[in-house]
Structure 1
Amino acid sequence: MSKDIIISMIEVGRVGLERTAKAVPEDKLNWKPLDNGRTVLDLLGDAAQAPALCTGMLRGNIQYGPELFKRMAQERATWTREEALNHLAENTRQLIEEIKTFPDEKLDEPLTLPMGGGMTLAWGVWILMAYRSFMSRTAQINYIQTLYGDFESH
């Protein structure tokens, strides 16, 4: 696994998420199809926070757990689309800068984190969690778009 590929994937994911989120009309940003569903704005904010978690991990500050996720949800609850997009851009920029300084030889080294009761993956795979978040949230936003009648490819 190479840092260049990781960075490219993260950037492609960010650009796609940004493009998709910008295509949502203002009156649909806080719409949700079900009472307990998530809004586009919440999904975008969630994805915007993901790179910061990865950056923290690379800096040795591994955080995980219900209290963290509750705090993150409260933080993004007041964000506008523009604020979420700004956080997405800045958090991704910081993650990419951190990736560039990360030793190549460590990318394939295993790291065990508490997710799912304890998961061991290579550092490079953990770093790609930001990309995974971008792609999954983009897909969720795309689905919400179809529910209000937008079938365009954004």
Structure 2
Amino acid sequence: MITALLRLPEDKRNWSPETTSRTAQDMVAECAILNGSTADVITNRTFPADFDFADYGRQKAVLAQHGDAVQSLLQENTARAIAAIRAVPDEDLQVEVQMPWGPMALAQIISYPYWNMSYHEGQINYVASMLGCLE
């Protein structure tokens, strides 16, 4: 994901093709924050009752303005997510965790960082293709 982000010219990392579109840095900031949150959910087997979605949005907006910080947090929280995933024994994969939108099996939760980062990396690469930055 960082490779895709760095493929974009620096002045285009916080650019979007439409006013309703998200920037590449915003998508990376989402993954950076949520990989850490997901690591916590996996480790604690519970979604925090005090999770504030509005505060998350504010944190993401601020983080997206700082390129080095967003990349560092992505690396740090991805490493945390990987460690949390590796610590889950196979027999716990069907354990259900109550999420705000309903119960999810731990197997589904541990796949979230992968598919979310893959999805957003594809979006960043699409922006790169629009800008002629793909090799």
TM interval, short-chain normalised: 0.7 to 0.9
Shift of 1:77: 2.1
Structure 2: runs of 5 or more not aligned = none
Correspondence 1:87 to 2:73: yes
Q: 1:56 to 1:88 in 2, by over 3 A?
A: same
Q: Any conservation in 2 of the 1:50–1:129 contact (CA below 8 Å)? A: no
TM-score, normalising length: structure 1: 0.74
Task: Please state how far the C-alpha of 1:111 moved relative to its aligned partner.
Answer: 4.0
The aligned amino acid for 1:39 is T
CA RMSD of superposed structures (Å): 2.2
* Alpha-carbon distance, 1:64 to partner: 8.0
Alignment match, 2:5: 21
Maintained 8 Å contact 1:49/1:87: yes
TM-superposed deviation, 1:70: 2.4
**For 2:30, which of 46, 58, 66 is the aligned residue?**
46
Q: 1:60 aligns with which of 36, 42, 45?
A: 45
What runs of 5+ residues in structure 1 fail to find an aligned partner? 1-16
C-alpha distance in 1 between matches for 2:92 and 2:45: 13
Q: Counterpart in 2 of 1:4?
A: none
Contact 1:44/1:137 (<8 A) preserved: yes
Query: Does 1:105 find its partner at 2:88?
Result: no
Matches of 2:49 and 2:72, distance apart in 1: 24
Q: Which one of 117, 124, 133 corresponds to residue 141 of structure 1?
A: 124
- Look up the equivalent residue of 1:148 and give its one-letter code: L
